[in-house]
Amino acid sequence: MSDTKFVLSEKEIPRQWYNLAADLPKAPLPPLGPDGNPISPDMLAPVFPMNLIEQEVSSDRWIDIPEEILEIYSMWRPSPLYRAKRLEKLLDTPARIYYKNEGVSPAGSHKPNTAVPQAWYNKQFGIERLTTETGAGQWGSALSFACSLVGLECKVFMVRISFDQKPFRRLMMEAWGGKCIPSPSTATQAGRNILEQMPDTPGSLGIAISEAVEAAVTDESGKTRYSLGSVLNHVMLHQTIIGQEAKKQLALAGEKKADVIIGCAGGGSNFAGLAFPFVLDKINGEDITIIPVEPASCPTMTRAPFAYDHGDTAGMTPLLPMHSLGHNFVPPPIHAGGLRYHGMAPLVSHAIELGLLEPLALHQLECYDAAVKFARTEGFISAPETSHAIAATIKEALKAKEEGKEKVILFNWSGHGLMDLKGYEMYFGGQLQDYALPDEEIEKSEEILKTYPKPVIV
């Protein structure tokens, strides 16, 4: 048997999450409130439980993972690390390609890595119900799964067009007991306002966030909080279990170091989860290239300014220091729904500003082509988001071939595409097109973002 899969025992699951904020050469900037001043933890208390707020603002390097969370993690963790030998052979590359398989979770992606601790900490804090939003349904299903195991109610506002067109992830939520509501809905003021103005709107992630936040903060019992699946510091934190495991597994595979780390990035969490433990190595002087990959149609990292902006369309969230196309930006309807977000996690954005990352934007046809090559060699069918990481990996592997270098490339296989086969159908049928965002759109975003305070890293 060849060494193509590297498995850790349950006892080797990392016992702590890694907080990159503790090691950044320059301190991250705080979120700002409506008055333009940094917000205090207390101001977030109606939205999140205090134990998660503490993680959000923590500068501790390591944060212990509670035993009960480790127990649930152990359902699918440690996730396997694979060597992509058949893909290497197809590419005829001297590079050694590894991928971390996060598709093995019951929800099929990396999302449960943070859904479970978020549900658990809320439960600990006496919360009885979580609200959240979801686009294509990946996050809503992960949180429904987590709430079901921990014993919380879960209410998910799902963008209406996805609710209607993609019933399967909604059904996953319902199988786990989650309540899924098409957004905009009449259940919130924000939803009612939108419906009055635009009764036929297909909805948007921004609107759904506004509804979920409102539903949490207006619940008079005080037992409801809101949960977000990406962007925030504590979400990145929870995901670092991926990169920590990968390091141990690379060692098992006999690799002294990784040369290139790759992940797709929408809000930033699966990328950060794999990459942040390696960013520390880079900060400590190791020669390592770290690449977050985004769609060319939503080029937050490669073309949008680093600015203060809201996380949601309605402007209910604090201002976050991040690469943003503007909270009013509506990304084109590419199939990688999880990469259609106007902003980028503040910690990822900050690391870009410090020159620690080398973001890359790719077109979707190249990504689907990569995913099909991957399916026919490595055997796994990838989520459209994940296909971006594969395409970047193939680029790097071919570069290594040109250079004649034996590079070690590691990417995050963030999820399977079994619920996303419609995109493959359109790709095979020649119905997909590439789309690069026109410069005018970027300029429009810059104009709007100028009205907010300018983030300055010192």
Binding residues (CB under 8 A) for a copy of itself: these are 1-2, 4-5, 7, 9-11, 13, 67, 70-71, 74-75, 82, 86, 104, 106, 108, 145, 148-149, 167-168, 171-172, 174-177, 371-372, 375-377, 379-381, 418-419, 421-422, 424-425, 428
By residue count, the chain amounts to 458
Nearer to a copy of itself, 120 or 176 (CB): 176
Nearer to a copy of itself, 49 or 112 (CB): 112
Q: How far apart are CA 229 and CA 428, in angstroms?
A: 31
Strand, helix or coil for residue 305? coil
Nearer to a copy of itself, 172 or 246 (CB): 172
Tokens describing residue 171: 């059904």
Relative orientation angle of helices 384-403 and 364-378, to the nearest 10 degrees: 80
Q: Tell the smallest beta-carbon distance from residue 64 to a copy of itself (Å).
A: 14
* Greatest pairwise CA separation for the chain in angstroms: 64
Residue with tokens 């270098």: 405
Residues 6+ apart with CB under 8 A from 379: none
Burial 2-40 (b: 16+ CB within 10 A, else e): eeeebebeeeebbeebbbbbeebeeebbbbbeeeeeebe
Return the DSSP state at 454.
Answer: P
Nearer to a copy of itself, 379 or 430 (CB): 379
Question: Is 38 within 8 Å of 30 (Cβ atoms)?
Answer: yes
Q: Tell the smallest beta-carbon distance from residue 109 to a copy of itself (Å).
A: 12
Nearer to a copy of itself, 96 or 323 (CB): 96
Strand, helix or coil for residue 14? coil
Cis peptide before 184 (omega within 30 of 0): yes
Nearer to a copy of itself, 141 or 324 (CB): 141
Q: Tell the smallest beta-carbon distance from residue 389 to a copy of itself (Å).
A: 17
Return the DSSP state at 104.
Answer: G
